[in-house]
Amino acid sequence: MDGSTEAPTVVFSRIPSATPAPPNPPQPRRRRKGLLFSSLLTLAVVLGGGLFTVAPLRHPLPGPTVELAMPVSLTIPGKTPKLPWPKSGQGVIAVSGLGTLGSFGGNKPVPIASVTKVMTAYVILTEHPLKAGEQGPTLTVSAEQAAAYPGERARGESLVKVEAGEEITVRQALQAVLLPSANNMARILAAWDSGSVDAFVDKMNAAAEELGMTDTHYTDPSGLDPDTVSTAKDQVILATKAMALPAFAEIVKQKTAVIPVAGEVKNYNELVGHNGVVGIKTGSTDEALGCLVFAAVVTVAGRKLTVVGAVFGQPGAQTPEQLDRVFAVTRTVLRSTTKALAPHTLVEAGRDVATVRGPLGTGTTLRTAEKLEVVGWPGLKVKVEAQLPAVPTRMAAGTAHGQLTIQAGTGKPTKTALKTSSDLVPPSVWQRIRHHR
């Protein structure tokens, strides 16, 4: 060893300097994904609840429905009136437009005597219509027809005097047929219209068939032949149609008339001009006995109604007695008929007619605005009809909607408006949501 000394080797280590602490380190990727999923789930739940709430509002509501609370017919309350009919014969009485009030004696075809002339006049006036007051065409009495007069008179027929070459209008000829019941003028008119009496009788039967007179058969235009038969029911059908012809209605309500050759003639129907009677035709033979078809106009509660009836087969030794009997029966029955006719309230104001049912318990009631009356008699059936248009979704209380109509027979209908009893409104949003839940 040379005795020298080496200096020791010093090793330095790096000491980090003091620096600020770094920020929080970022979250690990796995945690960030979890938070995102949780947020999306929460949003889905919120949105899902909203969609659940809105869903029922997207569906359309059903429209209101109507439930009718009225029957299709009503009957006038009370006991059906009994008319004072006689013990023998047959008869019917009806009120035009309302129907038959009463009848008796069945419906067997019987001789009807000069009531036949109603059909004779009806056929003439349908073939040769006359306006009110119009005389119509002129016909001429032939020598043969005039020559038959003495023999007809000898048989005791009901006639008017005629002469060969006599000119007479259709109206005058009908006056002779319908007032003094001239058999000869009925035959003269028939031959003028159809060329022969037989051809005219065919027209009479065709007209009866067309009118639905199923129990009627004509063999002559005057009714002298007892084989001409009908029923009270059938003759009321015919009389109602005949009275709708202006010229017919004018003639049968006359008490007298003036015609060529015969001069003034009188109406055999002594009821005309009394108690509203405006016609129509008498009849009397040994086979038919006393017969009458009649019409009367009566006023009930300010309304004019036409009563049409027929009474056949009233006994008596001769024509005057037979006619007196049928007149007496008709007076009594007509008085009872007039008494039976009266106004009746069938529907009161404020009556429930229909229930309107809207969705989710909404709705209202349709009620009559006014009362409804009908003229008739107890036991008469009356047709009821409600006219209900489509119901809107919203109507205020008291809104007029539709109407109710009642009608007796074919008479004039009476009507009233229907009004809502309360507001009809659609259900609220909250009602719809609650209903859905």
Catalytic machinery residues:
114, 117, 181
Residue 188: partners with Cβ closer than 8 Å, 6 or more residues away = 139, 141, 145, 162, 173
Pair type for strands 303-314 and 372-376: unpaired
Structure tokens at 371: 């009362």
User: What is the signed CA dihedral for 413, 417, 418, 422, rounded to 10 degrees?
Assistant: -160
- Cβ 199 vs Cβ 175: under 8 Å: no
How far apart are the two ends of the chain, measured CA to CA in Å?
109
Structure tokens at 341: 């006719």
* Count of all residues that appear for the chain in the document: 437
- Cβ 264 vs Cβ 257: under 8 Å: yes
Q: In angstroms, rounded to a whole number, what is the distance separating the alpha carbons of residues 183 and 319?
A: 15
Radius of gyration of the chain, Cα coordinates, nearest whole angstrom? 47
Q: In angstroms, rounded to a whole number, what is the distance separating the alpha carbons of residues 101 and 85?
A: 12
Q: In angstroms, rounded to a whole number, what is the distance separating the alpha carbons of residues 380 and 73?
A: 10
Q: Is 281 annotated for ligand binding?
A: yes
Which has the closest alpha carbon to 260: 186, 173, 174, 183? 173
Q: In angstroms, rounded to a whole number, what is the distance separating the alpha carbons of residues 291 and 218?
A: 16
Q: Where are the alpha helices (DSSP H) in 231-297?
A: 232-242, 246-252
**Half-sphere CA count of 84, side-chain side, radius 13 A:** 14
What three-state secondary structure class fits 62?
A: coil
Residue 206: partners with Cβ closer than 8 Å, 6 or more residues away = none
Pair type for strands 400-407 and 414-420: antiparallel
Structure tokens at 399: 């809104």
Query: Angle, to 10 degrees, between the axis of helix 183-194 and the axis of helix 117-127?
Result: 30
- Report DSSP state, residue 5: -
Structure tokens at 60: 């359309």
Q: How many helices (H) and strands (E) does the chain have?
A: 11, 20
List, as residue ranges, the binding site: 281
List, as residue ranges, the binding site for substrate: 281
